[in-house]
Structure 1
Amino acid sequence: MLSGGLSRLKEVNQSLNPSEQKAAKYIIKYPEKMVEMTVSDLAEASGSSQSAIIRLCKSLGLKGYQDLKLRVAGDLQDDRSHGDEYKEIRPESGLKTIMTSVSNNNIYSINETLKLLDIDQLQKVIDLVKQAQRIDFYGTGASQLVAQDAQHKFMRINKVCTAYADTHLQLTSAVTLTENDVAFAISNSGETRQIIESIKAAKEAGAKTIGMTRYGNSTLGSLVDIHIQTLSAESDIRSAATSSRIVQLNILDILYVAIASQNYDESIHYLNRSREAIKKSFKVK
């Protein structure tokens, strides 16, 4: 069943024009009513217009109003089945509450992102990374930790890659890429200036470019050849480096396992070699 309509609406709500925002707010507040409405019904009930609702569907990357209705209906069904939703962390929460909230937020964000991901698009990413002679992973802050994790994984299956923490080194590396290489940028906001500059340099060098950002329009998303979008319904800075980071890690794990499985024999060979090398390095002489 299609789903993910409500998550998309919540993520882009603040960036919509006033007329589209009226419709979006109504749908978020009254999803059960919306799934029974026509476009004209929703326009009248929300104080919006039919044309604004059609524009809203396009802004969400959907085929039309019927597609949005199906996804909202799917969200309602998922809520009834699972009951998990994003919960913001409150001051002086008890440890048990924190354990449950953090875990549920991570699970919620992964599940909402899975509703959004396009398999054909992910396959294109897999094909690019698999064929690349070299991969540069770019990120700052928490996203840099994700980039380092990606480097660690892909190196173990014999992919030549970098994940420099220094943004000057990221830029220096970007200008040395070729048309046989891939630049993979990670930025939740999609607006990190240093990452954008590195992607611009990589594109000028002829490399293929991939960007991973939160759902919605962003400068990074508009620049890259393939844009992977994630959903992590975080409402303040305290949570911003938690569930969004987990979602980024999860997507890179998916890509890594997919590439390793497609090159199974070769991947197992290099994984065994790296495991043996690490084991030997820790043996007491």
Structure 2
Amino acid sequence: MAINDNILLKLRDMKDSLTPVERMVAEYILDNMEEIPHLSIKNLAQLSKTSDASVLRFCKTMGYSGYRSFIVSISASLGSMDEQQDDPYTDIQPGDDLSIIINNISRNNCKSIEDTLSVINRNEIARAVDALRECNRIVFFGIGASGLVALDADQKFSRINKMCRTCTDGHSQLESAILLEKGDVAIFISNSGETVEILESLEIAKKSGALTVAITKYNKSQLADKANIVLSISTPEITIRSGAMGSRIAMLTVIDILFAGVASSDYQNVKRYLSKTHKILASKH
């Protein structure tokens, strides 16, 4: 499947954080995707029980200058959504055969990565990579499953001689945030974008002068609104999978992209650092 910017995936993820009127428009579009490219703004307003002005505001909320450009994007996204419906996310069911579980979890994880690549902003990735290349130090913030992603990021960037710290509890996060300075990068990892401890640390990090990067679900959240750079992920958390399976895989992929971007831009030094760390670890085997 070609990986493209997919407005219908963005709508799926953004829907629950929209205003009630915007949500009415979004739900009608998602329930009637095939007919949307043929509707005028007045038709869509009537069918979604809203108004022309509400539909136009909705288009602007989704990042479009007007209704026409929004409809063009809908048309372009329909093909990939057909594939999504043919191969949907699958939850674990009682008594599933192990071979079914293996196939479903593997397919769901692949789809989480594909969906994330459909919504993530490439320009924001480039900005984050540039900042990480030039920064004095990196501090990763995450709680629970997001904290595990932060630890993975710390391990990767530490191996290429980046000064890193990871904070996975509220107290250490506040302490680290207050000690940040201009030239530092603070990366905040939260699927919901509404974790209280993360938001408190973000405010302090910004006042300390650090550049703030958010890795969070594509929706309207305080974290996405307040961070300097936002790297969005896309994956539904369904029932048993809600133990952050989908979001964790998507977030780890974003971390890998950032690491590879930094490593590629400074390849000779990175190769030397990785060789040194590999040798010292190999000597312990």
TM-score normalised by length of structure 1: 0.92
Aligned to 2:21: 19
Counterpart selection for 1:276 from 250, 261, 279: 279
5 Å matches for 1:41-60? 41-60=43-62
Seen in structure 2, the aligned counterparts of structure 1 residues 223 and 17 have a Cα distance that, compared at 3 Å, is closer
Counterpart selection for 1:160 from 150, 158, 163: 163
Aligned to 1:188: 191
What amino acid does structure 2 have at the position aligned with 1:192?
A: T
Gaps of 5+ in 1: none
Aligned to 1:226: 229
Q: Distance in 2 between matches of 1:216 and 1:81?
A: 23
Q: Distance in 2 between matches of 1:169 and 1:58?
A: 39
5 Å matches for 1:11-160? 11-80=13-82, 83-160=86-163
Q: CA deviation at 1:80?
A: 4.3
* RMSD of aligned alpha carbons: 1.9
Q: CA deviation at 1:6?
A: 1.7
Seen in structure 2, the aligned counterparts of structure 1 residues 69 and 91 have a Cα distance that, compared at 3 Å, is farther
Q: Give the total of aligned pairs.
A: 282
Aligned to 2:249: 246
CA contact (8 A) 1:232 1:244 kept: yes
Seen in structure 2, the aligned counterparts of structure 1 residues 274 and 118 have a Cα distance that, compared at 3 Å, is same
Seen in structure 2, the aligned counterparts of structure 1 residues 215 and 240 have a Cα distance that, compared at 3 Å, is farther
Q: CA deviation at 1:104?
A: 2.1
Gaps of 5+ in 2: none
Q: CA deviation at 1:45?
A: 2.3
CA contact (8 A) 1:84 1:108 kept: no
- Structure 1 counterpart SS, 2:24: helix
- Structure 2 counterpart SS, 1:268: helix
Seen in structure 2, the aligned counterparts of structure 1 residues 89 and 58 have a Cα distance that, compared at 3 Å, is farther
Pair 1:198-2:201 in alignment: yes
Counterpart selection for 2:264 from 255, 261, 264: 261
